[in-house]
A and B are shown apart, each in its own frame.
Chain A
């Protein structure tokens, strides 16, 4: 740990000498880094009053405009981490800063898409998407944005439909549009495609990439689907449970659009599977002479 810190410090010193860094208060701000997570710990009590360390000493910097995936088995604290970033929960120690400002609560600049979509059942598709504008009292001057986003997610003709009348995939796209209409700097996605079939999932994945490129939104995706993480991400954070911590951060340097069956894709997949101790589940090749 000390070694790593030392390494980081010397890097920062080197960078600051080149003039890449600006100093604001006592926080080192790099223009390239949008979100800094520093020494974050979070624990909770389970049903039998045992303290469970959900997050243990998490350090992570998220670059502006990147697509970052957090992957790991259930219970490794990935959703907890995402909730901390959203400001829905507070760290016990350490801190999170977005553009140098301390994250202290939920804010429309950090959009959040829930696992189950979470549309308001009593609002139509149109009104669900407009929620953010109405909540911030800027609906009147941005009315046309709603139609734009409905068009963007391919739900034209469904403006007046209620959530129970549309499919799960449509609902999830509405949830994404609803978060994006606020122009968030950061879009947090908590397994938004977990409950969808693979066709709809592929559809939404492509849509996400497209939206990300268009708006230059930084996206953080929590998932347990390795393929999804590789298909979408610039970097993949692998987390391990008990205590929840980051075991490795992996760069995915493949050009888009990525081919899910490509050799490099599969190599990365195998690599991650091994890291997650899932490799043994892969069948061994059989040879017969």
Chain B
């Protein structure tokens, strides 16, 4: 009985070969070695510039103890660059064994080299010579001084921002997907809710700030509310759209297989809408960061936005940059996590939809 169906082993081979081909073009060991050296050279030059270039301008270099070690901002800067060099060296060595990673690493080498050079130039112009307008453009080493002065305080503010983001954004995602499903599935809900969604959606969430502050008992819950609103709109709208665009035949097919309404909603419409739901989530993510920082700058007892405001008052712009640096890293990590979850959940799209 199995004889009628030929063995499909040849097809299986093609299937796996195609998987392998998805990697980029092969990179030779020689090119890889050159690019590894190039990557590390940039940051080495940045360290060399910091050590060798004489401090010409009049900048006070104080010493601080951090974790029991005496630091100036210059030595911390060198330490950070040293860690970066070690990190990129480790990644580079690791990438040698995987053709895909190797191609990626080689591809990014020129950029990383340029980054090192840029840091060196910035360091010389910003701190060593003070040629850039001060205090608005401190050098990269000077920015790190903020961490030497008040690392625990920055950390505290970062945690505040993170907590605010997690509370607001999680609630926003839950409400957004929930109402999106209702709007997309029930025409009556669409009729009554969609105009409201459309109307409130175009208003930047911070505009509700005065109401939020009076309506909510704490500043934290008011800001969380703003983040919920701003993420809710885009997620709900796109979820509804995704559900409504489910082709009729998919429902018909599921019905002929014995599916009832709950199955149609959660196993046909929602998976079909998943790519759009994630588009909504990434949009909302951007809005949420903006709202978060603005809300913090307008009246929160903590957070990175609050820290920026506080530092600005004292003209401590290097601290503003330090805060921005923490934001960049924090938000970058959050976006990576969301992208990771998305890639896991939309695995079925790989190769089917162009990324």
Could you tell me which A residues sit within 8 Å of B by CB distance? Answer: 86-88, 105-108, 110-112, 114, 118, 120-124, 131-132, 134-136, 151-155, 157-158, 161-167, 170, 178-179, 182, 203, 206-207, 210, 214
B253 within 8 A of partner (CB): yes
> Given contacts A106-B256, A164-B352, could you give 17 more A-B pairs where the C-beta distance is less than 8 Å?
A86-B256, A106-B255, A107-B258, A111-B257, A112-B256, A118-B250, A120-B250, A122-B348, A123-B271, A131-B267, A132-B257, A136-B257, A153-B5, A158-B12, A167-B11, A182-B258, A210-B1
Report the nearest B residue to A115, measured CB to CB.
Answer: B249
B263 within 8 A of partner (CB): yes
Provide the residues of chain A in CB contact with B20, threshold 8 Å.
none
Provide the residues of chain A in CB contact with B249, threshold 8 Å.
114, 118
Judging by beta carbons under 8 Å apart, are B1 and A131 in contact?
Answer: no
Minimum CB–CB distance from A169 to chain B (whole Å) comes to: 9
Q: A106-B252, A121-B348, A164-B352 are in contact. Are A135 and B258 (CB under 8 A)?
A: yes
Bitwise, B327-353 to A at CB < 8 A (1) or not (0) is: 000000000000000000001111110
Q: Which of B9, B254, B274 contacts A131 (CB under 8 A)?
A: B254
Bound CA span A178–B253, Å: 10
Minimum CB–CB distance from A155 to chain B (whole Å) comes to: 7
Provide the residues of chain A in CB contact with B18, threshold 8 Å.
165
Judging by beta carbons under 8 Å apart, are A154 and B5 in contact?
Answer: yes
Provide the residues of chain B in CB contact with A210, threshold 8 Å.
1, 4
Could you tell me which B residues sit within 8 Å of A by CB distance? Answer: 1-2, 4-9, 11-12, 15, 18, 249-250, 252-260, 263, 267-268, 271-272, 274, 347-352
Q: Which of A114, A154, A161 contacts B7 (CB under 8 A)?
A: A154
Secondary structure type dominating chain B contacts: helix
Question: What are 14 inter-chain pairs, A to B, with CB distance below 8 A?
Answer: A106-B256, A107-B256, A114-B253, A120-B250, A122-B272, A131-B267, A135-B258, A135-B259, A154-B5, A158-B12, A162-B347, A162-B348, A203-B4, A207-B4
Report the nearest B residue to A117, measured CB to CB.
Answer: B253
Minimum CB–CB distance from A269 to chain B (whole Å) comes to: 24
Report the nearest A residue to B275, measured CB to CB.
Answer: A122
Minimum CB–CB distance from A146 to chain B (whole Å) comes to: 13
Minimum CB–CB distance from B12 to chain A (whole Å) comes to: 5
Report the nearest A residue to B263, measured CB to CB.
Answer: A135
Bound CA span A151–B271, Å: 27
Report the nearest A residue to B257, measured CB to CB.
Answer: A132
Bound CA span A255–B274, Å: 50
Bound CA span A63–B242, Å: 43
Bound CA span A167–B8, Å: 11
* 4 interchain residue pairs of minimum CB distance: A154-B5, A108-B258, A164-B352, A135-B259
Report the nearest B residue to A132, measured CB to CB.
Answer: B257
Provide the residues of chain B in CB contact with A112, threshold 8 Å.
252-253, 256
Provide the residues of chain B in CB contact with A123, threshold 8 Å.
271, 348
